[in-house]
Amino acid sequence: MEATDTIRIRLNGKERELVGAHTVRSLLDELELHPGMVVVELNRDILERDAYGEVPVSEGDTIELVHFVGGG
């Protein structure tokens, strides 16, 4: 995949276009989300945090991000 290619995914229920090749980790970086504060479900499978940098994001993927919110 060339850097100028775009893919379409569904992110938290909304269609989204991504430019270039992405891993789950690079997607989180683009969204400015800390990997330790998010659980990622990719096509109905919950991913291990250690794998975020190795798992590619592909055309048609469905990704759900669950954020942890701290407080007290």
Residue 45's alpha-carbon distances to 6, 19, 63, 66, 70, in angstroms, are 23, 24, 9, 13, 25
SS3 for 52?
A: coil
Domain boundaries in the chain?
6-67
Give percent above pLDDT 70 in the chain.
90
Sheet of strand 62-67, all strands in order from the earlier edge strand to the far edge? 14-19, 6-11, 62-67, 38-42, 45-46
What pLDDT score was predicted for residue 69?
Answer: 72
**Average pLDDT over every residue of 18-44:** 95
d(CA 30, CA 46): 20
Fold of 6-67: Ubiquitin-like (UB roll) (3.10.20)
pLDDT at 71 over 90: no
**Average pLDDT over every residue of 19-30:** 95
